[in-house]
């Protein structure tokens, strides 16, 4: 007869490792099952940006103390170890095809006092996961690397997860198996979620480049594709990513074009060497309003639309494992037992951000290079520095909303196209859905 655990955690990413650490610290008998044999190896796209630092998002703000080698979560009230390289981040930047740009934060000025001004840092995610894994190991959690979970079954008072053909029985399960969660699919959690489309990213890790005054995440709009350039933890290195909601697009060709041929942007990459590459395919399903069913709690990306991000996934693991601890202590092996997690999820994530409609738009399908350059040039001064995605999106939406009279006056043709985008939203969504792979 195999052992019955208090908790089985599926997935050893940031959310799952943190859940396993807290469960171990709280004395729960816990198993951690992870598909990868090397748990801390990062194979999927991830810039390692720890954001937002020193500003609020989803009710939390992060701190970083290089002397103490700790990343803090002061609202939630815990910290994690981080002893590795880092680089400061000051905000986002948006480039039109002709190189016209607007920024969040005047990066040149802000760099003069990094400790005070940074709103994010880029860290080495593998080292962060390594620190978490060592903490999990120290708590006596049973760790099963190389274990692919393929089944889950609810019994009277427990749940049995099947990994590599072996049963793992527990009172509760935390599903931290990331975006495109198999557990969510097996348990029918995706049936009620809206399928929005499939996002494909391909990223080159580049060394030997210095992009003047860019420290954060830059988005590059081009007529042949959409790109992002991300500051990473090592100086003179960047991630250059190509991104699409049309999975048939040839992203490798687009990356070659921007690096070697583009008149405006290829000078950035002169002398660059490719030192690695990653990719990801993300099926976009609207976030879960209730991330719980049959004693299984969904945390991190498994319950979200796209990327909840590393620090917020860690927060979810922390909160979920504490909720399970209290449910066991109170003898409430049901939804009522983990109510603190459900309320927290609703208040911090779902209500403020989860219910918003996400639109898979490619601007270059509607606007010319000249139109995009004109719109970018309307923003004359940098916005306040931020690495908070939601704040960035709100600021852009409100600013261009306020500029509509100017655009109508100066460029009625552009205004017509913008209105066209608004009116064609249903067709845009239908096209992205048709191009994607719903796999629900």
Ligand X SMILES: Cc1cc2nc3c(=O)[nH]c(=O)nc-3n(C[C@H](O)[C@H](O)[C@H](O)COP(=O)(O)OP(=O)(O)OC[C@H]3O[C@@H](n4cnc5c(N)ncnc54)[C@H](O)[C@@H]3O)c2cc1C
Give the shortest CB-173-to-ligand X separation in angstroms: 12
The nearest distance, CB 199 to ligand X, in angstroms, is: 7
Q: How far is the CB of 307 from ligand X (least distance, A)?
A: 3
Q: Record the tokens describing residue 274, joined without a space.
A: 């490719």
Q: Are strands 49-50 and 63-65 parallel, antiparallel or unpaired?
A: unpaired
**C-beta of 317: minimal distance to ligand X in Å?**
7
Beta carbon of residue 284, minimum distance to ligand X (angstroms, whole number): 11
Nearer to ligand X, 30 or 418 (CB): 30
Q: How far is the CB of 9 from ligand X (least distance, A)?
A: 10
Instruction: Tell the smallest beta-carbon distance from residue 300 to ligand X (Å).
Output: 2
- CB closer to ligand X out of 309 and 407: 309
Closer CB to ligand X, 105 or 311, in the complex: 311
Measured from the CB atom, the residue of 234 and 417 that comes closer to ligand X is: 234
By beta-carbon proximity to ligand X, the closer residue of 12 and 291 is: 12
Pick between residue 282 and residue 376 the one whose CB is nearest to ligand X. 282
Rounded least distance, CB 408 to ligand X, Å:
35
Q: How far apart are the first and last CA of the chain?
A: 34
Nearer residue to ligand X within complex by CB, 206 or 282: 282
Smallest distance, ligand X to C-beta of residue 149, A: 4
Nearer Cβ to ligand X, position 58 or 308?
308
Q: Which of 383, 387, 303, 385 is nearest to 342 (CA)?
A: 303
Q: Which residues contact 101 (CB under 8 A, 6 or more apart)?
A: 93, 94, 95, 218, 376
Binding region for ligand X (CB under 6 A): 10-16, 33-36, 45-49, 148-149, 176-179, 182, 201, 280, 282, 300-302, 307-311, 313
In this complex, which beta carbon is closest to ligand X, that of residue 262 or of residue 307?
307
């Amino acid at each position: 007869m195999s052992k019955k655990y208090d908790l089985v955690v599926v997935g050893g990413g940031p959310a799952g490792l943190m859940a396993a650490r807290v469960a171990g610290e709280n004395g729960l008998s816990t198993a951690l099952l992870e598909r990868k044999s090397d748990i801390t190896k990062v194979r999927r796209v991830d810039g390692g940006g720890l954001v937002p630092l020193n500003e609020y998002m989803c009710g939390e703000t992060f701190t970083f103390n290089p002397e103490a080698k700790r990343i803090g979560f002061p609202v939630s009230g815990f910290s994690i170890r981080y002893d590795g390289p880092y680089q400061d981040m000051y905000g986002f930047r948006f480039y039109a095809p002709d190189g016209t740009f607007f920024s969040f934060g005047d990066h040149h000025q802000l760099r003069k006092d990094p400790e005070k001004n940074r709103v994010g840092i880029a860290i080495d995610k593998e080292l962060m996961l390594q620190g978490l894994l060592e903490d999990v190991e120290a708590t006596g959690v049973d760790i099963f690397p190389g274990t692919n979970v393929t089944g889950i079954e609810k019994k009277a008072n427990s749940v049995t997860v099947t990994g590599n053909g072996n049963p793992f029985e527990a009172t509760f399960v935390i599903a931290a198996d990331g975006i495109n969660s198999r557990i969510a699919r097996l348990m029918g959690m995706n049936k009620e979620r809206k399928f929005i489309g499939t996002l494909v990213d391909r990223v080159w890790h580049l060394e030997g480049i210095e992009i003047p005054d860019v420290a954060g995440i830059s988005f590059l709009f081009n007529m042949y594709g959409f790109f992002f350039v991300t500051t990473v933890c090592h100086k003179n290195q960047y991630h250059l990513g190509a991104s699409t909601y049309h999975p048939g697009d040839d992203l490798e060709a687009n990356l070659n074009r921007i690096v070697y041929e583009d008149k405006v942007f290829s000078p950035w990459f002169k002398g660059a060497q490719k030192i690695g590459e990653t990719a990801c395919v993300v099926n976009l399903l609207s976030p879960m309003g209730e991330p719980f069913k049959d004693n299984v709690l969904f945390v991190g990306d498994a319950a979200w639309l796209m990327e909840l991000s590393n620090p917020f996934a860690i927060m979810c693991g922390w909160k979920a494992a504490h909720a399970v601890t209290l449910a066991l202590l109170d003898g409430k092996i049901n939804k009522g037992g983990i109510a603190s997690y459900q309320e927290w999820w609703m208040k911090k994530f779902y209500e403020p951000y989860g219910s918003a409609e996400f639109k898979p738009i490619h601007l270059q399908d509607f606007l010319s290079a000249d139109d995009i350059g004109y719109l970018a040039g309307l923003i004359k001064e940098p916005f306040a520095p931020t690495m908070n995605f939601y704040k960035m999106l709100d600021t852009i939406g409100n600013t261009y909303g306020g500029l509509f009279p100017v655009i109508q006056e100066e460029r009625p043709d552009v205004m017509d196209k913008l209105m066209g985008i608004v009116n064609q939203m249903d067709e845009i969504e239908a096209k992205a859905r048709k191009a994607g792979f719903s796999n629900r």
